[in-house]
Amino acid sequence: MTIKIGLVGTGTVGGGCLDILANHKEDFKRIYGLDLELVRVCSLDVEAAKAYGVEDIFTTDFHDVVNDPEVDMVIELIGGTTFARTLVTEALKAGKHVVTANKALMATYGEEVMGLAAEKGLEIAFEASVGGGIPIIDPLKHSLTANGISSVMGIVNGTTNYMLTRMAQEGLAYEDVLAQAQALGYAEADPTADVDGLDAAAKIAILASIAFHSRVTINDVHTEGIRNIKPMDLDAAAEMGYAVKLLAIADRTDQGISVRVHPAMLPLSHQLSNVNGVFNAIYVTGDFVGETMFFGEGAGAGAAASAVMGDVIEVARHIQMGCGPIVGCTCVDKLPIVPVEDLECRYYIRFTVADRPGVMAAMAGVFAQHGVSLYSVSQRGSDDAGEVSLSFVTHTVAEKDVRAALAEIAQLEDVQLDDPSVIRVVK
């Protein structure tokens, strides 16, 4: 059976999709009986069209794809929530199935576009929006459905994992490793989306919605990044038997869904602690399956294109079988989002403070007033005269008490010289 495809976006992932079709078109015919025929390609990059030899089906106007009556399925790879939202919406309204890698769109307007797809009896598939090539949305929507999922926890941003790995292994400073990541193309010129955790927030919103059957959007995610982390924090973690990772976490609690992105210390024996460099992994805990992990390349042309084209084949199979979408949105519940202030865990907090008598005592006093019980305190000198690093590790305490203590410490006169590094201890 011939399935006609329109591709919008010829960047890294779009190029990977064109490569997959060039390499495996005949395999897909032989194995699955599916002839995936590319009938329209759209992007603003005319040179890319030439490089891939698709000038004859090329356009710079996505309406030419959406309005082409031949097209069965549109692949959206332009990203963002403006043009992409319009494109996906118009494609669905025109009766086309949609495959997208767009995490921002799905984490912000997921309900809208999935609702529209359901109304039209069409599919919108988005495996590539989380974890690059790692199958994670499909396992959550299929293999693991017999479970009540209690937790989804992942390293879902390759840029920050690469940075933290090199900072830990080589003692590089944040600024230096960021510059290197940018030079290698692992980080954008404006690294905000990665280093401040926004990319990871979109991904965990998508996974939480699927795992807990209740819509979670990117705005529900409490998000902290890695800007304040220094090599000394990673050293301190290693000494205590922990690795530091930027984790995206969604927990099902008695109160609802706790969903957040922040740097975290994980025991070195935990599987996620061994996930280094640009690799991603997602750890899923279910009431019957127990603990599972899905590991792989979280970014890159090939990996993301593998997920996109896997979705394309799946949608094509459903068309071939004459059946509708097997699983659409399953957000049948409306669970509350638990405020991050309700979190309880252990904290590592490191301050850069003025090196003078009484500072540690004053800070420890503030923690005590707020009921933040300390497990350990350590002081380390600095190369910069007049400043010193003070690290506190707490027992299990309430986030709201830690926040109140941090706010009060920030008010202590002439004490704090920089934003503190706050790393929650997980497990």
Residues taking part in catalysis: 203
State whether the Cα torsion 246-251-253-256 is positive or negative.
Answer: positive
Q: Enumerate residues 6+ apart whose C-beta is below 8 A from 48.
A: 10, 11, 14, 15
Pairing of strands 97-100, 35-42: unpaired
Q: Segment near a second copy (CB under 8 A), from 1-9, 172-180, 232-240, 280-288?
A: 280-288
Draw the binding track, 131-150, toward a second copy (x: CB under 8 A; -: no contact): --xxx--xx--xxxxxxx--
Pairing of strands 387-394, 279-286: unpaired
Residue matched to tokens 């118009």: 90
Question: Residue 230's closest CA among 405, 376, 389, 416?
Answer: 389
Q: Give me 84's structure tokens.
A: 């992409």
Q: Segment near a second copy (CB under 8 A), from 201-209, 215-223, 235-243, 330-338?
A: 330-338
Check binding of 317 to a second copy (CB under 8 A). yes
Q: How far is the CB of 236 from a second copy (least distance, A)?
A: 23
Q: How far is the CB of 374 from a second copy (least distance, A)?
A: 32
Q: How far is the CB of 123 from a second copy (least distance, A)?
A: 12
Check binding of 31 to a second copy (CB under 8 A). yes
Q: Which of residues 110-129 bind a second copy (CB under 8 A)?
A: 127
Pairing of strands 279-286, 124-125: unpaired
Q: Segment near a second copy (CB under 8 A), from 183-191, 247-255, 320-328, 387-395?
A: 320-328
Question: Residue 229's closest CA among 195, 204, 273?
Answer: 195
End-to-end CA distance of the chain: 50
Three-class secondary structure assignment of 65-100? HHCCCCCCEEEECCCCCCHHHHHHHHHHHCCCEEEE
Q: How far is the CB of 306 from a second copy (least distance, A)?
A: 4
Pairing of strands 222-223, 256-267: parallel
Hey, which residues does 337 pair with through a beta bridge? 257
Draw the binding track, 369-398, toward a second copy (x: CB under 8 A; -: no contact): ------------------------------
Q: How far is the CB of 32 from a second copy (least distance, A)?
A: 7
Which one of 23, 26, 239, 254 is in contact with a second copy (CB under 8 A)? 23
Q: What's the CA gap between 404 and 128, in Å, rounded? A: 40
Using the minimum distance from each CB to a second copy, give the nearer residue, 322 or 357: 322
Check binding of 328 to a second copy (CB under 8 A). no
Q: Which of residues 212-241 bind a second copy (CB under 8 A)?
A: 213
Binding site for a second copy (CB under 8 A): 16, 19-20, 23-24, 27, 30-32, 127, 133-135, 138-139, 142-148, 213, 271, 274-275, 286-297, 300, 302-303, 305-310, 312-314, 317-318, 321-324, 326-327, 330, 332-333
